[in-house]
Amino acid sequence: MQALIDTDPGIDDALALLYAWGSPGLTVAGITTVAGNVEVHDATVNLFRLLGLRRPQPEPPVAQGAAQPLARPLVTAKGYHGVDGLGDLPDWPAVHPSLPAIDAADFILDMTRHATEPLTLIALGPLTNVAHALTRGHETLHRLARVVVMGGAVDVPGNVTPTAEFNLHVDPEAAVRVLDSGLRLDLVPLDATRQAVVVRADLARTLARRPGPLATRIAAFTERGFRVDAERGTAGMILHDPLAVAVAIDPTLVQWESTRLTVGADGTTRRAAGPPNCRVARVVDVPRFLAAFLDRLCPAS
Ligand code: BDR
Ligand code: CA
């Protein structure tokens, strides 16, 4: 399958990208950045750091997207991901992002229009770019095979407010537009991602089997994620965005529920009466997910 990834790297976004690049059944046809965990420029810098580190082949084209949510100021998640978004390591090589003249929304529309097979769009950040693409090319976006979104907290507490999840909280207006769009939408909310926890020893064991600069760097930038998740009472690190990539590749990794969701003003997702507008990931086959994730994250160098 071929996919576009829209992302705001972000520690778990970084893991999701590395996992996607190591997944044989998936071709990452293009990547777009969006403001979320950090400002969009820093998200783009982080993406180019990761491209330089991993050098996926073929190297996917990249476009930068929205600097601000549709209708409100940006709220970032630097408390979790670090001021730079990737754990504040002091020694990343300098990167010089080269970007096309078009922005992420036009890039997504162009790629969708010219794809040789229907693409899957995997959205790992606030939905601002996807909403802009819908505004500019609603019909074109309906050529997508699926849209897989990491976001929402349906029957569980939120992670930025008592009820709201970060990606939907940052840009609720965009989330409303996407949920109302009629696109084939698979939502991967906190209900599912909180099951997808990797413990430090398992990641360390995997990285020790594949020593090299990539393994060293993964260990370094995940350190902060493990620390903050531990402070919040999790026995490991929650793999929000990697789970979204995983179910894009293999939807049988989770049990789905078709339902109708609405998004409140602060990004809270709530069930509503009426025909389904998405499928929501519920129960995760955690052993199968973690086995695939750990196997593909860091190839032997
Ligand atoms: C989501 O918020 C971000 O901080 C993570 O990267 C993930 O996409 C989890 O709520
Ligand atoms: Ca993210």
**pLDDT (tens digit per residue) in 216-243:** 999 999 999 999 999 999 999 999 999 9
Contact indicator for 74, 178 with CB cutoff of 8 Å: no
* pLDDT, tens digit (0-9, with 9 covering 90-100), for 240-254: 999 999 999 999 999
Q: What is the pLDDT of residue 224?
A: 97
Cα 125 to ligand 2 centroid, rounded to whole Å: 4
Which domain covers residue 104, as residue numbers? Answer: 2-297
Sign of CA dihedral 236, 242, 81, 222: positive
- Rounded to an integer, the average pLDDT of 192-216 is 97
Task: Assess whether pLDDT exceeds 90 at residue 125.
Answer: yes
Contact indicator for 87, 223 with CB cutoff of 8 Å: yes
- Tokens 């196997």 locate to 295
d(C-alpha 166, C-alpha 161), whole Å: 8
* Residue among 143, 50, 137 nearest 102 (CA): 137
CATH number at residue 25: 3.90.245.10
Catalytic residue among 81, 132, 169, 240: 240
The preferred substitution site among 50, 241, 247 for testing ligand 1, maximizing ligand atoms within 8 Å of CB, is 241
Please give the tally of structural domains in the chain.
Answer: 1
Cis amide prior to 10 (ω within 30 degrees): yes
* pLDDT, tens digit (0-9, with 9 covering 90-100), for 36-91: 999 999 999 999 999 999 999 999 999 999 999 999 999 999 999 999 999 999 99
* Residue among 70, 189, 75, 73 nearest 128 (CA): 70
Cα 301 to ligand 1 centroid, rounded to whole Å: 29
One-letter amino acid of 60: P
Task: Estimate to the nearest angstrom the gap between the alpha carbon of 217 and the chain centroid.
Answer: 20
Q: What is the pLDDT of residue 300?
A: 85
